[in-house]
Amino acid sequence: MGLVMPNPGTIFWMLIIFGIVLFVLRKFAWKPILNALSEREESIATALNSAEAARKEVEGLKADNEKVIAEARREKDIILKEAREIKDKIVAEAKDKANLEGQKSIEQARQQIQAEKTAAISEIKKQVAELSVLIAEKVIKKELSNLGEQEKMVNGLIDDIKLN
């Protein structure tokens, strides 16, 4: 029976000892240990959260960057297109202008040529007329050196007129 009967003296001391142990450990051991544990858990949780937030932020930045790049690309395309258009326009305009200039100078040249030609022709006409007159004078002078001939010619002329 000795083993299974609790000894009052042992119970007495054990109550005191365990009470003190419980009190002392609660105050001086468990409190700092559990506090440190929960603090560390909190700090780990915050660290993880902030890492997650940073990751999201970076992702956002990336998306923004992509948007900016796409925008820039689009703008570049637009600018290039515009530039091409402008170039085409300028080239076309230049071509037109050149054509016009060319036409103009050709026209001018033609007019000049025409004028020169007209002048030359009238000069030639004048010369021809003078020469003709001269020739005619000479011919007439030679022809009309005899009377028969003169008459013949006058008749001829009259015939011509009649025919007309």
Partner 1 sequence: MLKLSKAIFLVSAITIIGFVPLSAQQSHEEEQGHETSSHLEKGFDAGKFVIEHVSDSYEWHIVTFGEKHISIPLPVILYSKSPELHEGKSFYVFMSSKFHHGHSAYKGFQISHSKEFEGKIVELDSQGHEIGKPIDISITKSITGVLVSVVILFWLLFSVAGAAKRNKGKAPSGLQNLLEPVILFIRDEIAIPTIGKKKSEKFIPFLLTVFFFILINNLMGLIPIPPFGANVTGNVAITMVLALFTFAITTLNGNKYYWKEIYNPDVPWWLKFPIPLMPIVELTGVITKPFVLMIRLFANMLAGHMIVTVFVSLIFIFASLFGTGVGLAASPISIAFSVFIILLDVLVSFIQAYVFTLLSALYFGMATAEHH
Please answer whether residues 143 and 150 qualify as being in contact, where contact means their C-beta atoms are separated by less than 8 angstroms: yes
What's the closest the beta carbon of residue 37 comes to partner 1, in angstroms?
A: 7
CA separation for the pair 72, 61 (Å, rounded): 16
Examine residue 15 and tell whether it contacts partner 1 (CB under 8 A). Answer: yes
Name the minimum Å distance from CB 75 to partner 1: 50
Write the CA distances from 123 to 111, 115, 119, 127, 148, integer angstroms.
17, 12, 6, 6, 37
CB of 54 to partner 1, least distance (A): 20
Q: What angle do CA 11, 14, 18 make, to 5 degrees?
A: 140
- Quick one: which of 32, 60, 102, 156 contacts partner 1 (CB under 8 A)? 32
Binding flag, residue 28, partner 1 (CB under 8 A): yes
Shortest approach of partner 1 to residue 53 CB, angstroms?
A: 20
Contact by Cβ (8 Å): 150, 144: yes
Are 153 and 143 within 8 A, CB to CB?
yes
- Site size with partner 1, rule: CB under 8 A: 34
Q: Does 5 bind partner 1 (CB under 8 A)?
A: yes
Q: Is 61 in the site for partner 1 (CB under 8 A)?
A: no
Does residue 34 bind partner 1 (CB under 8 A)? yes
Which CB, 17 or 129, lies closer to partner 1? 17
100 touches partner 1 by CB under 8 A: no
**Binding segment for partner 1 among 5-13, 49-57, 76-84, 142-150 (CB under 8 A)?**
5-13
Cα 92 from Cα 38, distance rounded (Å): 79
Cα(60)–Cα(90) distance, integer angstroms: 44
Q: Extract the tokens encoding 101.
A: 């200039």
Q: Where does this chain bind partner 1 (CB under 8 A)?
A: 2-15, 17-18, 21-22, 24-26, 28-37, 39-40, 43
